Structure 1
Amino acid sequence: MLAQIKQTRTLSILLVEDDPHFRSGLRTLLGGGYTIVGETNCVKTAISLTARRHPDLMLLDMKLEGGDGIALLQQLQERHEKVKPLVLSAHQEGSEISRALLAGAKGYVFKSQVAQQLEDAITTVSQGNVFLPPNVATPFVQSLQAVPRISTTPAEIPHLSNRELEVLQWVAWGASNEGIAKELFITTHTVKLNLEHVYDKLKVRTREWNEKENKFKTDKLVNSRVLAIRKAVKLGLVQL
Structure 2
Amino acid sequence: MKNNLLFLVIALRTRRPIMKSSSKLSLFALALLTLSPIVLGSSSVAWAQNYSQKWTTVASAGTLDQKDVSLVTFNGPVASLTSNAPDQSTLRIRYNVVPVDGLFEPYCNAYRLRVRYRDEFSQYGLTLDPGIQVVVTLKSINLFTGAVSTLLTFNSNQFAAAYGFQTQLSDYGWFTFDFANNAYWIEAYLIRGQLNNLYFMKYPAPAALATIQIISDSCIN
Name the TM tier (shorter chain). under 0.3
Higher relative contact order, chain-length normalized (CA < 8 Å, sep 6+): 2
Greater share of helix residues, 1 or 2? Answer: 1
Q: Which TM-score applies when normalising by structure 1?
A: 0.21
* Greater radius of gyration (CA): 2
Q: Which TM-score applies when normalising by structure 2?
A: 0.22
